[in-house]
Amino acid sequence: MPHEIEVEQYLGCLTNALDAVSQAVFVHDSSGTLIFDNAAARDLGAARHEEAGLMRAIEEAIASGRAGRFKDRSFSIFGPPRRDFSIRTRPASPERQHIVVTVIEDLTIRNQLDTIRRDFVANVSHELRTPIGALGLLAETLAFEEDPKVRQRLANRIQNEAFRVSKIIDDLLDLSRIESEGASQQADIDFVELVTEVLDQAAPAAELAGVSLQFELSGSNFMYHGDKRQLRSALANLVDNSIKYSEKESSVNLELTRTPSTIEISVIDHGIGIPQKDLERIFERFYRVDQARSRQTGGTGLGLSIVRHAVGNHNGVVEVESREGSGSTFRIVLPTKGEEQK
């Protein structure tokens, strides 16, 4: 039997430990009187008006526990936003069956992450199934085709579908690296050079689409410290989109602007534009306004997610303004070093 002071110290330690856990813990005696609550439980109690439904569910669980019925329950507030909780009751000990320990856990974030993961796997499978199905069919047809011209056409289509699969996989790998690494490869970047590189790379696609690329500078000192590969990938995706979603003979303008606290790059096109209702969703993985057009132009639906993550890794933001039928402006705004350190 520990000395009295030791018991007090021991209880103090236990109380501190329980205050440190994120689950709410209540203990009620056989008459239903609260005899212990940890910090999370006190927070929950303080918010009892907003959480009236949850508090009722907890009271029911405690009443069942006092009557000797212990079971795990789940409780959801349908919101929005939706929130999910688990409520577990246990007897304090085999000898003290009527002292009820109740543990409440907020499962909202865990459930949201599970849903995101499940949706992502379903989306990837769906995206890959179409070109892979097409590859199977094309190969089967090719095997029985004798006309050399048709064989050539089938071979070209097989190449296109294979290219699509590899583009989806490349974009997925790019996105996963950008999401998990943060801006890890820091280097000095000259933004004028970076924009020029991206424009050079995009020139053949622009020519093929009959779109002219223009570049304008405003201000000076475009040196920036960041992850060059990620920022190049972000800008290349915006330029690629501006060409893909423009009509023949239109122009795409890149504007690089230096302000005292930011470097801003705008990619302005005069293409098909984006309906207002889709603007909020276009940065989601695999979201496309027009599935057919995106597929036909070789889009994976991942480009803007890559842009948002790469820019976010540099504490920057991506802004978009668009009018259906008259064009879109995507603007990357990056805080410069001095500003970040403030």
Q: Does 302 bind ligand ADP (CB under 6 A)?
A: yes
Q: Min. distance of Cβ 119 from ligand ADP in angstroms?
A: 16
Name the token pair of 340: 């970040």
Number of residues that bind ligand ADP (CB under 6 A): 22
Q: Does 266 bind ligand ADP (CB under 6 A)?
A: no
Q: Does 245 bind ligand ADP (CB under 6 A)?
A: yes
Q: Min. distance of Cβ 197 from ligand ADP in angstroms?
A: 20
Place of tokens 């999910």: 84
Nearest to 330 by CA among 274, 286, 261: 274
Of 3, 126, 225, 270, catalytic: 126
Q: Is the dihedral of CA 92, 97, 100, 106 positive or negative?
A: positive
Cα distance between residue 320 and residue 79, in whole Å = 29
Whole-angstrom CA distances from 31 to 34, 35, 65, 329 are 9, 10, 12, 66
Q: Does 331 bind ligand ADP (CB under 6 A)?
A: no
Binding ligand ADP (rule: CB under 6 A), the pick from 230, 233, 328, 336 is: 328
Cα distance between residue 104 and residue 253, in whole Å = 55
Binding ligand ADP (rule: CB under 6 A), the pick from 175, 211, 256, 304 is: 304
* Only segment of 28-36, 41-49, 119-127, 294-302 that touches ligand ADP (CB under 6 A): 294-302
* Only segment of 37-45, 74-82, 239-247, 331-339 that touches ligand ADP (CB under 6 A): 239-247
Binding ligand ADP (rule: CB under 6 A), the pick from 38, 230, 242, 336 is: 242
* Only segment of 58-66, 179-187, 196-204, 288-296 that touches ligand ADP (CB under 6 A): 288-296
Q: Min. distance of Cβ 164 from ligand ADP in angstroms?
A: 11
- The verdict on whether 126 is a catalytic residue reads yes
- Terminal C-alpha separation, the chain: 57
Cα distance between residue 203 and residue 104, in whole Å = 58
Say if residue 63 is exposed, middle or buried (CB neighbours under 10 Å; 0-12, 13-18, 19+): middle
Q: Min. distance of Cβ 287 from ligand ADP in angstroms?
A: 6
Q: Min. distance of Cβ 290 from ligand ADP in angstroms?
A: 5
Provide the b/e sequence for 115-146 (b: ≥16 CB within 10 Å).
eeeeeeeebeeebeeebeebbeebeeebeeee
* Only segment of 19-27, 70-78, 90-98, 240-248 that touches ligand ADP (CB under 6 A): 240-248
Phi first, then psi: give them for residue 328, nearest 5 degrees. -135, 150
Q: Does 274 bind ligand ADP (CB under 6 A)?
A: yes
Q: Min. distance of Cβ 219 from ligand ADP in angstroms?
A: 25
Binding ligand ADP (rule: CB under 6 A), the pick from 51, 161, 227, 269 is: 269
Whole-angstrom CA distances from 247 to 210, 225, 271, 297 are 8, 36, 6, 12
Q: Does 288 bind ligand ADP (CB under 6 A)?
A: yes
Cα distance between residue 93 and residue 24, in whole Å = 19
Q: Which residue lies nearer to ligand ADP by CB, 91 or 273?
A: 273
Nearest to 285 by CA among 316, 312, 308: 308
Q: Does 131 bind ligand ADP (CB under 6 A)?
A: no
Name the token pair of 111: 């459930």
Binding ligand ADP (rule: CB under 6 A), the pick from 161, 299, 316, 334 is: 299
Place of tokens 């110290």: 9
Q: Does 290 bind ligand ADP (CB under 6 A)?
A: yes
Q: Which residue lies nearer to ligand ADP by CB, 153 or 229?
A: 229
Q: Which residues bind ligand ADP (CB under 6 A)?
A: 237, 241-242, 245, 269, 271-274, 282, 287-290, 294, 299-304, 328
- Catalytic residues, which ones? 126
